[in-house]
Structure 1
Amino acid sequence: MKTILGSVAVCLAAFLAAACADNSPERDDTPTMAEASRSEETMNDSATSRSGGSEWAAEHPYVGMWVTADGHIRQELLPDGRYDEARGNRQSAYTGRYWITGDRIEYRDDTGFSADGEFDGDVLHHAGYVFYREGSLAHRRATEGDE
């Protein structure tokens, strides 16, 4: 019964997202059933699973700013399940959705490109880069040589 109710909640969330989304042909933010299913798995993986993804994500320990040691790439994992990545002076160079299951993260940017990564405490390994939670001890250690 819990699984059925969870599936109904995910489908309803997908429907509402589609109804509220910008329906321009060059941008389709409507989640597919596979994405909705992954989102449900991610929420259910949390000890504090809720029916709304944004409530869950706001409490998730990986939400926040992640940066490379040189600060060139800055990736913000937003509480609503989206990310915004800046590269150098280029703000919002990449934007899209993300899903977290355990210590794994999956990305799908708004152009359809997908990637993944793995968290190790305050370190994120993603697409050949190493990101650090901004301001963490790991970040301070990684940037000590840059001063």
Structure 2
Amino acid sequence: MTIEETREYIGMWVTKDGNIRHELLPNNRYNEARGNRKSAYQGDYCITGNHIEYKDDTGFTADGEFKNGILYHAGMILYKEK
């Protein structure tokens, strides 16, 4: 997908308690913060439709779905920061 097609997904996504934070960057990279760790995981992401595939820099993969403005990922629910 192009940046134009994924623009609504770019930005910071956080769990309700703020403990997990996914920053989806415009260059198809992401940074995941957990608690006090500002860069717990980093890697690439790819969005197709409303599906996101993550591959961190260690090779670990995960995925998620965007539904009604909410990101569902690995049992977590993340909301986009305004």
TM class by shorter chain equals over 0.9
Residue equivalent to 2:65 = 118
Residue equivalent to 1:65 = 12
RCO greater where, 1 or 2, for CA within 8 Å and sep 6 or more?
2
Percent identity between matched residues is 60
Q: Note the alpha carbon deviations across 1:82-106, whole angstroms, 9 max, x for none.
A: 0001000001100000000000000
| Structure with the higher helix share, 1 or 2 | 1
> TM-score with structure 1 length normalisation?
0.53
Residue equivalent to 2:31 = 84
d(CA) in 2 for partners of 1:87, 1:57: 29
d(CA) in 1 for partners of 2:50, 2:6: 15
| Structure with the higher strand share, 1 or 2 | 2
Q: Note the alpha carbon deviations across 1:61-112, whole angstroms, 9 max, x for none.
A: 1000000000000110000000001000001100000000000000000000
The structure 2 residue matched to 1:94, chosen from 33, 38, 41, is: 41
Larger Rg belongs to: 1
d(CA) in 1 for partners of 2:79, 2:4: 19
The unaligned stretches of length 5 or more in structure 1 are 1-41, 44-55, 136-147
Q: Structure 1 residues 123, 89: CA separation in 2 closer, same or farther (over 3 Å shift)?
A: same
The unaligned stretches of length 5 or more in structure 2 are none
Aligned Cα RMSD in Å? 1.6
Paired positions, count:
82
Q: How does 1:6-85 map to 2 (within 5 A)?
A: 42-43=1-2, 56=3, 60-85=7-32
